[in-house]
Structure 1
Amino acid sequence: MLANIQKGIVHLRHNKLFEFFVIAIIIISALEIGAKTYNLKPTTLYLLAYMDVFITVFFLFEIIIRFIAEDNKKNFFKSGWNVFDTLVVAISLIPVDESEMALLARLIRIFRVLRMISIIPELRLLINSLLKALPRLGYVALLMFIIFYIYAAIGSYLFQHINDDLWGNIAISMLTLFRVMTFEDWTDIQYETMDHYPMSWIFYVTFIFFTAFAFLNMVIGIVVGVMDEEHAKEANKGQPSMSDLQAQITQLSTQVAVLSKKKRKRLKKET
């Protein structure tokens, strides 16, 4: 009896219609959270409150199904996504009233939208690729910070007397350079300094070349490279490795040799 129930739960867990229904509930949850940011009628707020209860209970039901459908229950919480989903569902059970935990409960309900990532494998692949690319991106970020720091120091020394609001100290200068890198009205800053230093355009052009063109393209290249590696791993996950193929070939060769030996013995007995 219990085995049949668990088998039915496993079948439900991997059912495509059930997965689409879970995704639909997550989307409805996101719309419900957004709707509460508007000034609504009391009747609408009353209906949204009941909808929130239904969504919370459904997510609890869905996480229980995923846990029961897991072959090895100990491995369920080894997945970071399962831990995240469980925490979000557990904290969502906190009643949203005027208590001290009300703000925390409302904020956690916003993060229920992120459950879309744990449900859709393609989104999980993107996030895992970004996380694995972070160590490589760290060196690029360090080098970019060095360039920012050098140019900010130069800009503060040269242009502080021109506009103290933009070049007053090295911290403000770095914020100004971030504005230049994102091309947010950076020509206004350039022309202002060019009135005093006509050759100051070299300062901006070289900075943009190093940051907006060189380093940002390096970041994109690293992320794309890691994503290609992850896609290759997913494609090869179901395929046997070379060592497995060699082991299978060795096993087949042994079986063929044993069968040939038995066949020769049988022929000798018959003759």
Structure 2
Amino acid sequence: MNKWSILAERLVKHRIFNALIFSLILLSAVVIGIETYAGLAEKYRTILVFLDRLIIFFFVTEIVIKLIARGNKPWKYFSDPWNVFDFIIVAVCLVPAGDTHFFAVLRILRVLRILRLITVFPKLRLIIGALLKSIPSMGYVIMLIGLLFYVYAIVGVFALGQADPLHFGDLHHAMVTLFKVLTLEGWTDIMNIHILGPVSEGNQQIVSLWPFLYFSSFILIGAMIIMNLFIGVIMNSMEESQKELAKELKGIKHKEKNTDELYREIIEKLDDLNKEIRNMKMSQQK
């Protein structure tokens, strides 16, 4: 590595540099937030455009410095998925503004710069990594939920469709209704249509209990058991991610320790070599 690469690597690892990038991400979030207010955006348009370009400039500079820090192998920068994530976000921000709808949509994607906070905080990276790792396992849980929805929707259409065609008139309406029930939003109103009879003298009597069993069993299985399965899968993935992170940190410390030992050995050998050179000079003088 040349001196520029060494200097760039030290700069990237410096606390002030990381604090500056973090501050720029927060500033970017504030700028984009202000732009959602038409009055403020028009009033401070010049300042906001200047800050936007300044933030993009620093983000591009950050990537260039990190590439330089890789020395003769700049492509190693892209070996880290989080670096690729940063690079894509910055590349999207560099798309020029235009009058077409396509470019307008890409410019709106500037809000993705806020997601760079994920790469700043290791804990956030751990959570996102755990979520990504849990996707394969969650696929089976989603399949189980799909089967549950399908079975209960069919039962609902045949058993409740005639009395309540709005919610259980056909399969897709029944599945949408069950999704609303699973969120626990207004599910009692839907259930009351089927368990309560007509109003008589200002009172309503329960005429059937089996709809209660239908809705309550769906909520217990769907909202309680299967949702806990989701949580369990994610927690398991987080534990695995924490173990991997601890292993990586241990490896890094071990490498640093080996580097220190190697440095000491080199210094000792140089000292021994200097002593031998001095002894040789002294013997020649004699």
Give the TM-score, by structure 2 length.
0.78
Secondary structure of the 2:38 match is: coil
Q: Does 1:228 align with 2:239?
A: yes
The root-mean-square deviation of aligned C-alpha atoms, in Å, is: 2.0
Structure 1 31/238 Cα, relative in aligned 2: closer, same or farther at 3 Å? closer
Q: Does structure 1 conserve the Cα–Cα contact (< 8 Å) formed by 2:157 and 2:169? A: yes
Q: Using the alignment, how far apart are the partners of 2:105 and 2:209 within structure 1?
A: 55
Deviations 1:184-211 (A, max 9, x none): 0111111111126332100011111111
Deviation at 1:40, TM superposition (A): 2.0
Determine the structure 2 residue equivalent to 1:179.
Answer: 180
Equivalent residue for 1:53? 53
Deviates more, 1:119-128 or 1:72-81: 72-81
Alignment of 1:161-176 (within 5 A): 161-176=162-177
Alpha-carbon offset, residue 87 of structure 1: 2.1
Residues 181 and 212, structure 1, Cα contact 8 Å, conserved in 2: yes
C-alpha change, 1:192 and 1:144, in structure 2 (3 Å) is: same
> C-alpha separation between the residues in 2 aligned to 1:99 and 1:140?
42
**Cα distance in 2 for residues equivalent to 1:62 and 1:138:** 37
Q: Per-residue displacement from partner, 1:97-138 (whole Å, max 9, x unpaired)? A: 435553133222111111111232221111111111110111
For the 8 Å contact 1:190–1:201, the answer to whether it is kept is yes
Aligned to 1:154: 155
Structure 1 residue 58, shift from structure 2 partner:
0.9
C-alpha distance after superposition, 1:59-94 (max 9, x if no partner) = 111111122223542322233222222122123122
1:16 corresponds in structure 2 to 15
Q: 2:221 aligns with which of 192, 196, 210?
A: 210
Q: Distance in 2 between matches of 1:68 and 1:119?
A: 20
Who is 2:210 aligned against? 199
- In structure 1, the residue matched to 2:65 is 65
Q: Name the structure 2 match of 1:268.
A: none
Q: Which ranges of structure 2 fall in alignment gaps of 5 or more residues?
A: 197-206, 255-286
- On the 8 A contact 2:5/2:70 being kept in 1, the answer is no
* Counterparts in 2 of 1:99 and 1:145: CA distance versus 1, 3 Å: closer
Q: TM-score scaled to structure 1, two decimals?
A: 0.82
Do the aligned partners of 1:137 and 1:219 also contact (CA within 8 Å) in 2?
Answer: yes
Partner residue, 1:106: 107
Find out whether 1:132 has 2:130 as its counterpart: no
Q: Give aligned pairs, total.
A: 240
Deviation at 1:24, TM superposition (A): 1.3
